[in-house]
Amino acid sequence: MQISREETNRETEQDVQQYLTFMIAGEEYAVSILKVKEIIEYDTVTEVPKTPEWVRGVINLRGSVVPVIDLAPKFRLAPSVVGKLTCIVITEVQCEGEATVMGIMADSVRQVIDLKPKDIEEPPNFGTRVKIDYLLGMARSGKKFCLILDTEKVLSTEELLELPELVEQTIETQQAEVASIDTPAAPEAAPRVAAEGAGKEPTVAREE
């Protein structure tokens, strides 16, 4: 059976996958574009107490509470500093068998790259800041390599399962604080002053 060039090209196109690359602490990372829902500007992030350092907080995304993950501390680096190009890559991962939306804090977004399976190499056992378990592989990007993250592993941890309860507690605390500010204080009772000659008819001076 002879395979036409058109069929070969179609098969080649099917093998190509797209990845979104972004920068964290001077290094380029990539995630499958199929896992990315959108990219938004870094705005108000509400901190949640009693969470790991790499949980930056949560945001309100069109009425849904979305955790924002700072991967720098998870990669044993200093926490990311918010800059002009800082953004949040909204991704969808499987957590405990359910689709969960999370945000990855990025210093900046670089590009979308097309990769074939042969373009992806095995991650090295040394020389990277990231645990091997968090990586799917690495691919050449210009003169350097970008690390392809396994979002299911790097974003799926037991600590995140406690976030909904902690977020609810944080919201309740904030609402209580706002309510205490908005509620006007009860007016103080006017001091009672005993008038001189209490119980006597007031005297009126007559003009002579």
Digit-coded pLDDT (tens) for 90-136: 999 887 777 889 999 999 999 999 999 899 988 877 666 788 888 89
Which H helix or E strand runs over 161? helix 158-161
What CATH number should be reported for the domain holding residue 52? 2.40.50.180
Residue range of the domain that includes 49: 17-153
Count of the separate structural domains present in the chain: 1
Helix (H, G, I), strand (E, B), or coil: what is residue 201? Answer: coil
Mean pLDDT (the chain, rounded):
78
What pLDDT digit, counting tens, does each position of 149-165 carry?
Answer: 998 888 875 656 555 55
Residue 160 lies in a domain: no
Residue 135 lies in a domain: yes
The mean pLDDT of 57-78, rounded to a whole number, is 92
- Provide the pLDDT for residue 184: 59
Residue 195 lies in a domain: no
Contact 72, 78 (CB under 8 A): yes
* C-beta neighbour count of 159 within 10 angstroms: 13
> In this structure, are strands 27-32 and 36-41 parallel, antiparallel, or unpaired?
unpaired
Task: Name the residue among 179, 134, 158 with its Cα closest to residue 52.
Answer: 158
Residue 87 lies in a domain: yes
| Amino acid of residue 115 | L
Contact 112, 129 (CB under 8 A): no
User: Against a cut of 0.85, is the pTM above it?
Assistant: no
Residue 176 lies in a domain: no
- Residue 178: CA atoms inside 13 Å, Cβ hemisphere, count? 6
| Terminal-residue alpha carbon distance, the chain | 136
Residue 3 has pLDDT above 50, yes or no: no
Residue 188 lies in a domain: no
